Structure 1
């Protein structure tokens, strides 16, 4: 059994906590939304904490937060005795499982190392359904073999595929690149369906053939049928967070001097969709809704 403090109980964090408790770990939970924290604790068997600094006995501190800025804010100033990071005892492993920027992850690792703490980046892929089933793909960035061995059983409680990617920051880089490729596949699939629909092909027929052919990808196989053709618009991942991740990938490409025109074009479409939809929190699949309006087509056959 590992004692874990888990901070961040959103769409992904809540089911991940359930998997940790089911695996026999003792889990303290915290979220800025105290009611959400209590609900997750009641439903999972975890322990609600009103202040994450009180769980100083935790061996592992897991952060499942939206971005690097929020991670840095949650950890607090390393010079402040009242900060979360200063409440951790030496040897604690801090696991950033959100989609943070690789450069910020590296800086946070240096700051924590000075306090005797180890930062491991371990972002996930798979969405809330796979999180609930314990079938996430988890990428792990650390060069420390001992730390990896210590944190591996915890990660295996939440994921069916745990892959070490290299030194700290490498996992966050790979996660951003994976999400960029995912957006390319989604936008590409929707554009192809737009052309075919305008021509007179039936969207579901096209999708069925594509998914038995060489053009298939994760979006055509998993997302477009149940969420776009039905107008459910509920992949379960906000478009705004999607764009945050892919902009991280674009920045990484720029820092390495790599020109990526196809990627940039796909991200531009996704950004146009977010700007045009006008809803408070559009789903990633609603890129399809935007393309319907832009191109004068309907994917639901009406």
Structure 2
């Protein structure tokens, strides 16, 4: 029997994932605190629930595509939470970026409630979420993987089976987020340097994307800068959160990570300057404030962006 899937969190990643699941023939229910997000999912042919509990009552698998550990806690264990409504033996796929220690503890608590958990952070951005081509860094029991298979087949191009216990998937996601955050901050600094030296920004992009200094994040994020479009596909606030988790995990391990810490400071500065809800490429605006560089402007918008 095809499992019923619930998706909690209908932001850029959650909406794309829920829609991809729906288009592959699964019965999908969505929930978000934003009525507009729920209405948008319904417009795509999905159904929405009034609460996480209501969603869980009509689901076999519940995906959590929320922002942080506090939201995970609330939707699972808060008033009108998933636990208590999801039938025993049901599966929670925890896709948010959280500390490995948080993922391990969640696995224990869900097991105590008679539920399976797949620690399943995702990567690939909103575009790959929408097309069902995410990378999933997953760990959990064989039973959890078996239960998750229909959803994973529909939402992911690649599923990495990293271990049998929650926590390993989240550990791998932290490695990814460390690199992603550093690469975005480096891309912004490199573009700021080029602009400050008088180079044409479009030419910098053309040359670097065909040179050894290129990175996936440079190639993906710099076009946002060139267009002056900081519509948040992944916000500055996300990397303040994720690089803080990297920093805190390093502290737990007594491991110094100066490069990640430097990137965290740049994202924190961007947040402090009021750009927290803008696209993470807006970290370049820190250099605009400090060095007076002129950034490309959005078409038909003479403002700062």
TM-score by length of 1: 0.90
State how far apart, in whole Å, the 2-side matches of 1:170 and 1:253 are: 15
How far did 1:20 drift?
Answer: 0.8
Structure 1 counterpart SS, 2:28: strand
How far did 1:279 drift?
Answer: 4.8
The corresponding residue for 1:107 is 105
The 5 A counterparts of 1:117-156 are: 117-142=115-140, 144-156=141-153
- Runs (5+) with no aligned partner, structure 1: none
Deviation readout 1:15-52 (Å, 9 max, x if unpaired): 211111111111122222344323312x2322222233
The corresponding residue for 2:279 is 283
State how far apart, in whole Å, the 2-side matches of 1:259 and 1:280 are: 26
Q: Does 1:52 align with 2:52?
A: yes
Change (3 A) 1:200 1:164: same
CA contact (8 A) 2:24 2:154 kept: yes
How far did 1:84 drift?
Answer: 2.6
State how far apart, in whole Å, the 1-side matches of 2:25 and 2:285 are: 43
State how far apart, in whole Å, the 2-side matches of 1:227 and 1:267 are: 20
Q: Does 1:12 align with 2:13?
A: yes
How far did 1:205 drift?
Answer: 2.0
State how far apart, in whole Å, the 2-side matches of 1:126 and 1:151 are: 19
- Runs (5+) with no aligned partner, structure 2: none
2:205 aligns with one of 201, 204, 207: 207
RMSD: 2.1
CA contact (8 A) 2:63 2:95 kept: yes
CA contact (8 A) 1:173 1:249 kept: no
Deviation readout 1:185-236 (Å, 9 max, x if unpaired): 1221222232233233322222222222211111221111x21122112351
How far did 1:146 drift?
Answer: 2.4
Runs of 4+ displaced beyond 6 Å: none
Deviation readout 1:109-131 (Å, 9 max, x if unpaired): 11111121111121111221221
Structure 1 counterpart SS, 2:20: helix
Change (3 A) 1:165 1:295: farther
Structure 2 counterpart SS, 1:86: coil
Structure 2 counterpart SS, 1:216: coil
TM-score by length of 2: 0.89
How far did 1:299 drift?
Answer: 4.2
State how far apart, in whole Å, the 2-side matches of 1:36 and 1:211 are: 35
Aligned length: 295
